[in-house]
Structure 1
């Protein structure tokens, strides 16, 4: 329900950690050596924490292109992409959400590497690189500047408008292909914490128009139906956890949800004039009301789950809550209207009742222009900005977007008013959008330094490493109840957890043999440790 991308042509690049020929690495500056397995995150209550239990705040932005037919960051057309990445890090964006397409992952899993569009005229280091090499090139440069990555399956097929298709399966991209592609990808990067998590599917929604054929729409219930997104998300997440238990799993919502919890068969009419009033509607991917009735259950991996709605302003679509009182309301009242009419019942309740933290996977919008709804759109942006700040650590976000190619939201990179930077060619940094809306929501310490999510690599030139300004408390292996001692009580607590009558302990203290799982082997190792 947004971001109509301009059709262009795009780039290629580098270095697979495990596969691929002709590797090229950018090492334009000397940086500390990053570890590959020390930055994994997990959930504690409504917080995301590092391996030591310290709270972190994911405050980032989206950068699309690998979901498009060009199979590259589209800004490579207009600039030196390495300079862009460095600018993004210097501006304090600690995580980048990277859209990609299932058919591209599937091709890579079979050892096929589709070509990306050649933009070596702006980026000499990209010359001759296929899509897989280019993807890894971007990862290496993100790692170098301290940025983490969330990979998002944005569409079934590499298509600039592929996000408009409502489901995760289409044609040759079946449910099995969707799942197997994710599992292959997770296994491929399980030893590189540059990628900290996976957003399983962007914006599951309904077919276009008022007449909704529910067999063609994403639903959320406890059925075994092919289009039940809750079922597929849960099953896919568990398949991923079997090979990569350290990754965060981000699950988006749907568009509609039945008020009585029961989905009708056939076709329903959602027209405000002629339709029924049996369903609530929200942004694509933004309706998580179903979590109340049918929460995602990952069992022993529940601490890797984060729910992730999307939310936009009236210049993407003029929803009902942007009309009436909202138009003339002051900012405080406007935020209350959005909370009561949209945010609370669709997703905010999830963090309020302690179920899970949230990641607003997409928010943002145009901040310049002459559209009659611009002032209302800016009021929305201020409301969301202030709501994110008020819920620091519980509400994480990735702003849409860095790209200059999103027609209904604009980007942090722009051809309009802004500040030029080295390597940007004809692009500039949109100071108005960044200074007024994104910057206040970025993670900074009391000195104004940006806080990254890497324990070794500082975030750009203006940031610090994770742990620089917080106390690191390394976990004591075997201290299951976290009382600072390892004794028979811990053995009893772990045994209770394995029997299903206790709370699942943290991997950092209970994974005694360091295999990424908590099971009877860990119980045996702990028992042996106590006896010795």
Structure 2
């Protein structure tokens, strides 16, 4: 769908590190982490991102692609409702959406497709840009942040340079200026990933880093576009990816497209506000291509040294924050699980770890598959188990209510419906409505699972099952449910989809069923 790479010999840049084992997919969730999204716009203090109050924040997000393709809209909307999809992302603990788009998708007359308007009635008649607006609005409703990723100039293919004969640099910068102005004052959108995976070409006319040619030097182009973005929206982060090949550095000469930042120490990106600069790299497993380093006898102990040389030095040296903007795997090769466990350990835990957005949410990525399986609903628990301990949920915390009793006069209704069913399990949604006169603070909804039903995961709340009792606790982005308001809780479960539970409760208060 997106990138390819240049496979080259590995130089001797080794550093030993322990192998991180994948956590068990059935393990209990990790304790709630410190705040991931913070308040207001973000900036950098050295290698650390901070929110408007100076508190450390971190992107632990996921890529949701599609707006860069001929659909001009995120994929999967033919199978799911947009709001439900974003709620599931947030419920799983992802706090950021990296949203690829193409300049073509922003063109007047570019008509989105691949959307079931019965499932998404609010999207009918919208332009590609207006659908991006809707993703941003829904992310905001769940306390998430959004990074806009200019993935391609046109919808049909990736480009090594930031411009093409049909899409000049001026259009690239004008579109970024338009987007920066459009989302000015909205802290949900935190920044601009200026161009996806600049890279070299066989004829020597592709992207370079620090070569000085204004038509090829990606570092110089990033400065031009970055200044335009900051002039239009001083709150935004300017995110600059690497290239693939940088001769004459301690790193191997070439690596993944967009993944080589070894030229930064000699040729750093210079912005008028250096506290808005973030460098970004991409890193992949053997499911994308079998690089030499995967066959090295020292694998996986060779990987931390390789990552240091390509991109880790950015954060180690305190030059700027580092975002691992794409990384992913099908987990089909045994080495891939070792690679992913080692990489997550390398990125680190908590708000001071390296920022990341996993590729991808979508199951239809040919290189990697997705967090979701082919039904666009079921979570790939094997992949998620590697990521879950490192996620900082939207607004921090992720853990929900304290299980306290509801206020006097509490009343509630639950509308429960099965949304999909198959031989071994089902997905369902329980929409809780506050029918009382007082807000439900830190609410906890419980019900009894029918015999043989086991909840595997949930979204829209922090969902767990203990014995026969299912508990859905208020997420941090919606801790208070105001009178008349509703909140949807989604679950994926194994077992029979009927009968439906009917004993929903908020504390000691029984809820009516719709």
| TM-score between both structures, scaled by the size of structure 1 | 0.66
| Alignment correspondent of 2:177 | 183
Q: Taking structure 1 as reference, are residues 128 and 465 closer, same or farther at Cα in structure 2, changes over 3 Å only?
A: closer
Counterpart residue number, 1:375: 334
Please list, as runs of the form range in 1=range in 2, the aligned pairs for 1:442-453 lying within 5 A after superposition. 442-443=391-392, 449=398
Closer, same or farther: CA 48–460 of 1 in aligned 2, 3 Å: farther
Q: Distance in 1 between matches of 2:360 and 2:246?
A: 28
Query: Is 1:365 aligned to residue 329 of structure 2?
Result: yes
Q: Cα gap change, 1:448/1:128 in structure 2, threshold over 3 Å: closer, same or farther?
A: closer
Matched, 1:137 2:131: no
TM-superposed CA distance for 1:450, in Å, is 6.1
How many residue pairs match? The answer is: 377
Alignment of 1:178-257 (within 5 A): 178-207=172-201, 212-215=202-205, 217-221=206-210, 223-257=212-246
1:363 is paired with a residue of what secondary structure? strand
Shift of 1:444: 5.8
Q: Which residue of 1 aligns with 2:257?
A: 284
Query: CA RMSD, aligned part only?
Result: 2.9
The answer on whether the counterparts of 1:3 and 1:406 sit within 8 Å (CA) in structure 2 is no
CA contact (8 A) 1:357 1:394 kept: no
Q: Using the alignment, how far apart are the partners of 2:118 and 2:131 within structure 1?
A: 15
Change in CA separation of 1:437 and 1:460 when aligned onto 2, cut-off 3 Å? same
2: distance between equivalents of 1:115 and 1:79?
19
User: Take 1:71 and 1:362, find their aligned partners in 2: how far apart are those partners?
Assistant: 20
Instruction: Kindly indicate whether residue 379 of structure 2 is the aligned counterpart of residue 429 of structure 1.
Output: yes
Gapped regions of structure 1 (runs ≥ 5): 5-36, 262-277, 328-333, 416-424, 452-456, 467-532
- What pairs up with 1:311-326 in 2 under 5 angstroms? 311-326=283-298
Gap regions ≥5 residues in structure 2: 5-37, 401-441, 444-458, 463-474, 479-514
1:326 positional shift: 4.5
Which structure has greater helix proportion? 1
Q: Deviations over 1:53-93 (max 9, x none)?
A: 11011100000011000011111122222211111111111
For 2:75 and 2:461, the matched residues in 1 are separated by 25
1:511 aligned residue: none
- Distance in 2 between the 1:392 and 1:130 partners? 36
Alpha-carbon distance in 2 for matches of 1:56, 1:460: 22
Q: Distance in 1 between matches of 2:339 and 2:351?
A: 19
**Cα 1:279/1:88, change in 2 over 3 Å:** closer
Q: TM-score, normalised by structure 2?
A: 0.69
Q: Distance in 2 between matches of 1:135 and 1:241?
A: 21
CA contact (8 A) 2:87 2:460 kept: yes
1:439 and 2:388 equivalent? yes
User: Contact 2:95–2:393 at 8 Å: present in 1 too?
Assistant: no
DSSP-derived class of the 1:48 partner: strand
Q: Is the 8 A contact 1:307 1:359 kept in 2?
A: yes
Structure 1 residue 228 displacement after superposition: 0.9
Alpha-carbon contact 1:46-1:351 (below 8 Å) kept: yes
Equivalent position to 2:280, from 308, 326, 340: 308
Counterpart Cα distance in 1 of 2:55 and 2:252: 40
Q: Deviations over 1:181-208 (max 9, x none)?
A: 111111111121111111001100122x
Cα distance change on mapping 1:394 and 1:45 into 2, 3 Å = farther
Runs (4+) of structure 1 moved beyond 3 Å? 1-4, 457-460
Note if 1:114 corresponds to 2:110: yes
The 5 Å alignment of 1:20-59 reads 39-59=40-60
Question: Match of 2:90?
Answer: 89
| Per-residue Cα deviation, 1:307-343 (whole angstroms, up to 9, x for no partner) | 000101111111111013145xxxxxx2x31012x21
For residues 310 and 382 of structure 2, the distance between their equivalents in structure 1, rounded to whole angstroms, comes to 30
Q: Does 1:413 align with 2:372?
A: yes
CA distance in structure 1 between the partners assigned to 2:399 and 2:166 by the alignment:
44
Structure 1 position 180, deviation (Å): 1.2
